[in-house]
Structure 1
Amino acid sequence: MRVCVIDGRGGGLGSRLVSGLRETLNLDCQILALGTNLAAAAAMRGAGAEQVASGVEAISKLAPTADVIVASLNMVLPGAMLGEVTPEVAKTILEARAKKVLLPLNRVRVEIVGTEGRTMDALIDECLSRVRVAVQGACRA
């Protein structure tokens, strides 16, 4: 089972997700970290991802190989993250056969009904729980 974390900018969210997944999932699961830039990729490598790559080409090539994709909602909104999310990145994620577990961060003034009042920590905990359920059995989580 291959779990892919995708992040941009400084990789703060991605590194927290990788670290949490490393603690949550058995070693049978491979954690692939894809950054929209080198800083995000390096942060996720430091958090324990086994395979790391960066850039639009890497995301386009490797995201479709994942069984589960974990990212913020911003990663499917072209132009988000100060323009780091290209239309190609958003399309690649949306068209991937993988289950997508997206955190509803509200940084581009997109309002997601039903997510009010949730802290980043609560969102990350819920995300890790949903990934654990998604891979249950396959990775003996």
Structure 2
Amino acid sequence: MKIAVIDGQGGGLGKTIIEKIRRELGNTVEIFALGTNAYATASMVKAGANDGASGESAICFCCKNVKFHCIIGPIGIICPNSMLGELTPSIAEAVFNADCIKYLIPISKHGLYIPGVQHMQINDFIQEIILELKKKLTH
């Protein structure tokens, strides 16, 4: 299973996602860290990603050409100009159009409000994603 984790700015959320996936799924999955900047990518690779790429061109290329089973990241990865402009319209489009499931973590930013999730913590969302990944690995 090939998993892409996309994050920007400092890569903190991506780092947390990768650490938890590694802890629960070990090396049964291949994780690609796709950062909007080199700092975010380095943080995610340090957390246990198998490989990493940085910037608009690399993220768009991977979303279009690598056969990921899923992409995981904050909801901003499909919102043009989110993450203080680091997430470009081209990246948002490439992620949205990637031929795989997208697990989007609803962060309360970007002027978006998602009813029903306000009482959940980020760790709850990540754990739910890991449970779904475990189901897919066993089928």
TM over 0.5: yes
Asked if structure 2 preserves the Cα contact closer than 8 Å seen for 1:68 and 1:131, the reply is no
Counterpart position of 1:108: 110
Give how far 1:26 is off: 4.2
Structure with the higher helix share, 1 or 2: 2
Aligned AA (1:136): L
Map of 1:1-141 to 2, 5 A cutoff?
1-64=1-64, 65=66, 66-133=68-135, 135-137=136-138
Structure 2, unmatched stretches of 5+, are none
Distance in 1 separating the partners of 2:72 and 2:28: 18
Give how far 1:37 is off: 0.3
Deviation beyond 4 Å, 4+ runs, structure 1: none
Q: Deviations over 1:24-54 (max 9, x none)?
A: 2242321111000011101101100011110
Aligned AA (1:47): A
Give how far 1:23 is off: 1.5
> What's the RMSD between the two structures over aligned residues?
1.4
Asked if structure 2 preserves the Cα contact closer than 8 Å seen for 1:41 and 1:54, the reply is yes
Provide the identity percentage: 34
Asked if structure 2 preserves the Cα contact closer than 8 Å seen for 1:31 and 1:50, the reply is yes
Q: Deviations over 1:35-90 (max 9, x none)?
A: 00011101101100011110011101112321110111011001110001111000
Report the secondary structure of 1:52's partner residue.
Answer: strand
Distance in 1 separating the partners of 2:122 and 2:28: 27
Report the secondary structure of 2:61's partner residue.
Answer: helix
Report the secondary structure of 1:25's partner residue.
Answer: helix
Give how far 1:107 is off: 1.3
Structure 1, unmatched stretches of 5+, are none
The alignment of Structure 1 onto Structure 2 pairs a total of residues equal to 137
TM-score (norm 2): 0.92
TM-score (norm 1): 0.90
